[in-house]
Structure 1
């Protein structure tokens, strides 16, 4: 995952900057096509410094005595070039600034593609669901997955360790509460721990391992922890 993150961190600003540059070039070319061509009048004598060029110019005027001017494509205004350059630099800079760190990038990728989890399901009224989450907070906190990456933040400098956490996900669906751990957990041990902390609630728990993709499945939200509901 570190290699993928470093590759994306390097290529994404370049790709987005190149895309903006291509779009800017297309816009400039489209606007140039609407401008009239430039008409340049021909002088009587060649203004070119070299004798050979002057002779070619005189031959041209003899062959085409009625030629008084020629047209060239319109010139790109400097303001357009400046705006395009600012858009390119701004896109690259904004992409670099908004690029998440390594652990956060891994959380985004796994939340989209999915990761192995253990899903806890319980049916209870909403108020009791909040009470259960608060009562079982110590157990749920142990099911988060710490993420550590070691890489260089810049080309120069020593590698640094960056830490993050893949959180527990919670989904409320009416009277059904679903809790997805951030890593696979032994079902028997998890069931015993949850029953110990929710013994007074008298609820039935359903626990099953499966793959969870919070960003592709509706309703999942990171669980902040105790007393956060």
Structure 2
């Protein structure tokens, strides 16, 4: 997806007029949709951010996004086809860099390059598949759901799998997991302790998957599919 960034900024004059580069630290609101379209897209160039949905008068973590991901999907709908009270925002987890792009400039460039347009559709489809899977499996045993979430984050953030191990280079706390799965934190602690005792994960310094294949056996996701994906390296 970083090819999209390069294509949008190939003309420095146009990029200066229709885009804005932003640099951010952790815990900054980068993008927010609250029923009114912003007429902008946000493309992540470096760093990690989280998508939060506003539910029951509080912000709840939904998923993570990384370099190459974009926000502003609501701008792909030209007309207000339905009335929705969904409110979401993107908040940085690490420091990084992003590009704010005016809607028409973004769409004109994407439509002019079919291969990049396909990448956008592929990205949207992937998120839809993961969301549908999570809805289907939401009543599955917690051990499976926790393994699902770890594997999804590895895929969505394009982390490399080396020697059957993966290191998550961003905060991945019990609180974040409990927020994603919407379960009490003490249940999350029990499952993580089990995974550590079984040497599937470790949290001594960073959150690290020590045995990717065994983690995959706890999940209903196909980990071999993840291994075969041609993912871009993560830019931190």
| Larger helix percent | 1
- TM-score, L = length of structure 1: 0.24
TM-score, normalising length from structure 2?
A: 0.24
